[in-house]
Amino acid sequence: MHEEIIKQLKTLKNISPDSGFVSHTRNLFVPIPTPQRVVSAFTWQYVGVFAVVVIFVFSIPFLFFVPEPTLASLDAVSITNEVRELPINIQLQEIKYSEDVQNTITNAISEASNTDVNHLNYMLLKDEEASIQKTKEINTSVDDLINKAIQ
């Protein structure tokens, strides 16, 4: 009996789809041609030319600008020479000045903090006065030179 059923099943091989359906579905897998975009091609050409012109115009200042001062200041040889010519004495003078100031301040502080009455001693005051007078001495040679220059 199975053979009979199998024979009947094989009759179903005659089933087939409509040719219209087959071709219609087949067309679903046809590549869709991309439309020719002539106008767009021309447009892109114009855009390209315009971009080149714009880039050229904006690059003109950079092409003709020569920053000489900047380049000179960046010259390594001139910078080295400039550094060498710097008066190193300035630093030494500053150091000496700082030492003097520091000594003066130290003396002033020690005197102010001294509770002894030594500073009221007449002899000491005389010595200090003498030293002050000594520093007040005027170098007349300088004055003479100035006067000569004025005349």
- Closest to other proteins by CB, 30 vs 57, is 30
Out of 1, 55, 66, 77, the residue judged to bind other proteins by CB under 8 A: 1
Structure tokens that stand for 124 in this block: 């000491």
- Closest to other proteins by CB, 10 vs 84, is 10
Site membership for other proteins, residue 21 (CB under 8 A): yes
By CB under 8 A, the count of residues binding other proteins is 23
Site membership for other proteins, residue 15 (CB under 8 A): yes
Positions that interact with other proteins (CB under 8 A): 1-2, 5-6, 8-18, 21-22, 25-26, 28-31
